[in-house]
Amino acid sequence: MKRIAFLGLGIMGAPMARRLLDHGLHVTVWNRKAARAAPLVDAGARLAESPAQAASNAEAVIAMLADVDASRTVWLGPAGALAAMQRGTLAIDSSTLTVEWMRELGAAAAARGIGFLDAPVTGSKKQAEEGSLNFLVGGAAQDVERARSLFSAMGRGQVHVGPAGSGAMLKLINNFMCGVQVASLAEAIAMAERSGIDVKLAGDILAAGSPGSPLVKMVVPRMVARDYTPNFLVPLMVKDLTYVIDTFRNAGIELADARAARERFQAAADAGHEHQDIASVVEVFRRN
């Protein structure tokens, strides 16, 4: 597949689309705010006026969008991509969305003779720029194979998790654990500061010890330096944890820890950190 449409050019979408361009693919892009497409157009991408226009001549359409409402509009809205796609083409949604919506979209695609994959990613802005994302893919095996070269262009590989919706499920489980870790790290860093312990020393110990997951190692320096350049926006974590809580509840699991973490991130958003990285949640606990 050489003709690719990419829908959504946010923190993750823009570098993912750039990777496709860098691999010599013919990329048409669309974004709600067209100005964000300018660097990609300068690099050789074509700019579409609507998702439908972007998708009309594409062999594969990839979306990276904020939430279910945005995804539904972009795929199925009045100028949506799905109705403009040709039979036999491939639709891929790499956003972090609900399992129910991914299954619904997959059924809508199948009814039109279009392949569908839900393929959210692990990694953030840095990994998207480096091409080291990992795709968690739900869908038919033959469609996963068809998309292999696209995943390789944008990331280090893919894991076929199961049928449609499976990638979304594993991504929500992944982000549940990430959200709880970052919220608890914020509380730990704040406690060290309030106790008079050198915050860099405390951060280094936490990152190097048993709590030091790759995520903790990445976020500790941001919290210590108060560098909240966005890699993963605070409101998106609130959204993801909301999806997580509902998904787990439907399976009979109530998530008290996810609810507590969501409250922390919502408090950060309410305090003016909605355009900053999730590391800014620590500021909810800081006294200065």
Q: Which residues are catalytic?
A: 171
- Does residue 137 come out as left (phi exceeding 0), alpha (psi in the -120 to 50 range) or beta? beta
Q: Which two tokens stand for residue 278?
A: 């999730």
The 3-state DSSP class for residue 62 equals strand
Q: Which two tokens stand for residue 198?
A: 């050198």
**Secondary structure (DSSP) of 118-166:** E--EE--HHHHHHT-EEEEEEE-HHHHHHTHHHHHHHEEEEEEEESTTH
Compute CA 57 distance to the chain's CA centroid, rounded to the nearest angstrom: 26
Burial (CB count <10 Å: 0-12, 13-18, 19+), residue 2: exposed
Please tell me the distance from the alpha carbon of residue 162 to that of residue 231, in angstroms, as a whole number: 28
Q: Which two tokens stand for residue 269?
A: 């958003």
Q: HSE (CB half, 13 Å, CA atoms) of 139?
A: 31
